Structure 1
Amino acid sequence: MDRRQLLTWVVASPTLVVAARLALDAPPADTSPSVDVIPLDLSIALRTDGRITVTLPRTEMGQGITTGVAMLVAEELDADLGQVDVHTADVSTDWLNQLTGLSSTMRSLAAPLRAAAAGARARLVTAAAHRWHLPARTLTTAHGEVLAPDGRKLGYGELAQEAAGVWLPEVSTQPKPVERYTVVGRPTGRIDARDIVTGAARYTLDLDVPGAVAAVVARPPTLRGSVQSYDASAAVTMPGVGGRAPAPLGHGGRRPELRPGARGPGRPGHPLEPRTGQPP
């Protein structure tokens, strides 16, 4: 199974629990791994400074999915929530489905993310066992560290390179049972709250795309309504109007108008003066 196929299963299925191999994205044995970011999984990477980066193929729109995803990963990795960073994935066909909606993000991603994080933890434990020459089953994890019975400990960042080369974990890769949860289900603040209130969070309207223009859709006032006619003569004389492009875009015969500040169709003074028909 290649990377794209496995990624499709990990991200797209709401029921399949997949523990991705760490070595899938690891360099060959005869090359030197990066000392900066070590890919532990197709959607989870561990930095050598101990930061955990999750690539989320969905869009945060205020619903809190970045915090929810971070909590799941922190839970299964036995890491602190503050160690987890969540970044939105770039648009790519590799993800198969990047639709954000229908309250589906946590339902579809929870199981594969938990499995991937649990597998990553098992490989970190195995890497520590190899370094210390101890049975992996005698080691525990907490707060982003692997702990030995004699008090020694190693941070996840210190083990990142070795963990990326572990093919066969020596401890269970199964996610935790609910009764062992210490992060999920506990009250916590949002990990992106500071960025939101300080204006650091970036949204679509913050993007400066060269040559792009704003498009506003004038919609019929009824579901499945259709536009029978409109008069754009007044609209095209308004400042900033670059043009108009009538085009059916699905139910309702919606037509975009390339100008700022459009009001809904059917309201007094609408520059398009649309006439709409009733739905069938």
Structure 2
Amino acid sequence: MKLRKVTAASAAVLALSLAATACGSDKKDDDASSSSSGGSGKVKIGIKFDQPGAGLKKPDGSFAGFDVDVARYVAKELGYQPNQIDFVETKSADRESALARGDVKFIVATYSITDARKAKVDFAGPYLLAHQDLLVKADSDISKGTDLNGKKLCSVTGSTSAQNVQKSIAPKANLREYSSYSECLSGLQSGAVDALTTDDDILAGYAAQDQYKGKFKLAGLKLSNENYGIGVKKGDTATVDKINKALEKMVSDGSWQKAVTANFGPANYKNEPAPKIGAIVK
């Protein structure tokens, strides 16, 4: 009887030990799962909130645009559900700082890959090759850069786009700087300006809005090459690799072209083919 009592006691201790070990194992798995999804099960992605066709926060609080579609696709491939995505407004001047601070996991925001930026952040992609272009009225006779001589050319305050045109193509163009592209578009519609310049996908996004459909056209001048990449914190090569694989899949399964057509198609945007990962067009 004494032997059986000892054996029974030992068995009870062993059972308790196993239970405690199992609980500890569950906790470690939970912690690992939490860590892999950013600690809260969500991922924060930087986008623009004010660029129709690219990244736009709509009045109802939803988000739309090509960059938004790309961000959602990439997040899905990284293991996140739509309700686990938090979009964070990331303005151009704050993109590098937002990544360095860890405010966002990655940024999809018409973010051109340049040597100066690559010194501060890492890039996946590119995922779109855009060009600086002109947006003009549908019946405009402006078809080349030199046609802008003597014309009123609009861009936003602080942008170098209009200055580049004046410096290299049309030195007699009259620059008009407004506080937003929306103001430039209103000026173009009213005749206050003759052309608006910035990246062609951004121009197409504005022109594709319901109230402007059929009223404007892209000149198709390809004044520069803008290789859009997805910004990632410097040194986070694992995330860069995962995003690149997601982008390759997005192109191969047709989702990339579908997103281009849906967001820019109404402006007759003639997009470049999807760029190859790591192929920067100078």
TM-score (norm: length of structure 2) = 0.22
Q: Where is the strand percentage greater, Structure 1 or Structure 2?
A: 2
TM-score (norm: length of structure 1) = 0.23
Instruction: Tell which has more relative contact order, 1 or 2 (C-alpha 8 A, sep 6+).
Output: 2
